[in-house]
Structure 1
């Protein structure tokens, strides 16, 4: 069974979201969580709803986009249990999974080129969490963010 991946963006990330969505169609079970046009929307609403879907188990991981990735990253990381990594290359995408067990990746639709963004997403999707010494650190993050 393919992993369920949610993808969501605001209007600033919409164009790149569409490219990534089309690229992933045959690779994963992709669920488009909006937005569905370049019409202006509030990123906290769209990203927040996607995070709620992840926490409810409707998707296994998230790909999130906004213009720079900053607003989507800040929003996502406000939800306990979300480990969203704003990444800018294949190495940071890989390490966000390998060491930090990121369950959401965040991209800047206005700052990344299409080819690089596709490679980043592909790397993130195939990279597993190493656990081991990193597991303790993830558990510490979960503990301090409960309050």
Structure 2
């Protein structure tokens, strides 16, 4: 499992002209899943996202988590995080999980952030063409991956 965290001041996802999710201060999460990911990966990465200290404290040091800072999550499924570009000019996505595997894991990830960590989670639409708009705060962009297997 691979998640790109973008700390944002404001973000939204639009599908077919309709806003499906929007947040003010928080994280935009681009979530990629591979075919051997499990609920253990989901729980590990959700905990890491919730507890990662990338918000400034009073001294200006990155010392607060999103839970401590406050804020919301905008979670966007993105199979292209597992693009393989080693050979040729067209990426292949053989490492990305098939939709029947990825969708339940993405939903479980979002539920884990909500239920175990108390975060407000807005989402895009799984498998849809989405317009993602954000104002990156910092900019701060961090990649989190599940434990190696």
- Relative to the length of structure 1, the TM-score reads 0.33
Per chain length, whose mean CA-contact separation is higher, i.e. which structure has more relative contact order (CA < 8 Å, sep 6+)? Answer: 2
Give 1 or 2: higher strand fraction: 2
Give 1 or 2: higher helix fraction: 1
- Relative to the length of structure 2, the TM-score reads 0.32
